[in-house]
Amino acid sequence: MIRELTINVAIIALLGLGALQVALAQNYRPMFPGSPTNVENFVQEMFFVTQSSGSLALRGTCMATDVASDVVSDALPHPPEGPFHNIDEPLAALSQVAPHLSWIRDGEGMLRVRDDRVQDDVLRIRLQRVHFRGAVHPDDAVQDVLSAPEVRAYFRKNHIEVGLVFRHLAPLSTKGLPRLSGDLRDVTVAEALDHVVRYFPGLWVYKECANGSLRRVMVRVAAVRVVGAPSSGGRVGAAPRF
């Protein structure tokens, strides 16, 4: 937990410098080269440093504290240190030390990092309609996806629980912030999450673990920009209808 909080603080510092680092540095390394971490933290940091977007699907271990229930990814006692020239290099190095992981870049340039132990069922649930209710933070948009009746019914039927995490801090004012609104129709959960990270550029993370007779699932989005900061492509409009 301490390591994860440390990475989160470090990432905040990286946000303002990430684009400059990518533009000017010919190579880069993790914030703490060689320091023990876990798969999720390592991949997330590489996405932040390179301002990349995509997805990460992981199998992990169910953990619980007094305030949250989490899914913790596999430890990396000796993570790749770099230096790296692009994000392909750390992901390739990671797949060597964590053989369950593979990665591809799809036709739209999105990076897909996946643990081969992950079940595909939740991400393949087909949704008749996803209604985005003006989310100003990616956490809220993810909640809109998981609130779809098909997801709730599938979770009840298959004894799947949703992990509880620390909620994001709400901005003092949401005036003028971009809001993800509108409907998606006839999409899978994964396709709906892709839509979220196109609006809030970053990485959607799907994690699962076995919790006794239950399966625990956690989904979140780690944005690579401060929420509300302008993107290179400007504000995105309402979600399209498919």
> How would DSSP label each residue in 17-47?
HHHHHHHH-S-B--SSTT--EEHHHHHHHHH
pLDDT tens sequence across 191-218: 999 999 999 999 999 999 998 889 999 9
Residues in the chain: 242
The tens-digit pLDDT sequence of the chain (242 residues) is 434 444 443 444 444 444 444 433 458 888 888 899 999 999 999 999 999 999 999 999 998 866 567 899 999 999 999 899 999 999 999 999 999 999 999 988 899 999 999 998 999 999 999 999 878 888 889 999 999 999 999 999 999 998 876 555 555 556 666 778 889 999 999 999 999 999 999 999 999 999 888 999 999 998 876 544 444 333 333 332 22
Residue 229 located in a structural domain: no
Residue 165's pLDDT is: 60
Domain that holds residue 128: 2-223
Please state whether beta strands 111-115 and 101-105 pair in parallel, antiparallel, or not at all (unpaired): antiparallel
Query: Which of 29, 141, 32 has the alpha carbon at shortest distance from 93?
Result: 29
Residues whose CB falls within 8 Å of the CB of residue 101, separated by 6 or more in sequence, listed in order: 39, 94, 95, 113, 114, 115, 116
Domain total in the chain: 1
Residue 205 located in a structural domain: yes
Residues whose CB falls within 8 Å of the CB of residue 192, separated by 6 or more in sequence, listed in order: 127, 130, 145, 148, 184
pLDDT tens sequence across 16-25: 444 444 433 4
Residues whose CB falls within 8 Å of the CB of residue 72, separated by 6 or more in sequence, listed in order: 38, 40, 60, 61, 62, 63, 209
Residue 28's pLDDT is: 81
Query: Which of 60, 55, 59, 49 has the alpha carbon at shortest distance from 22?
Result: 49
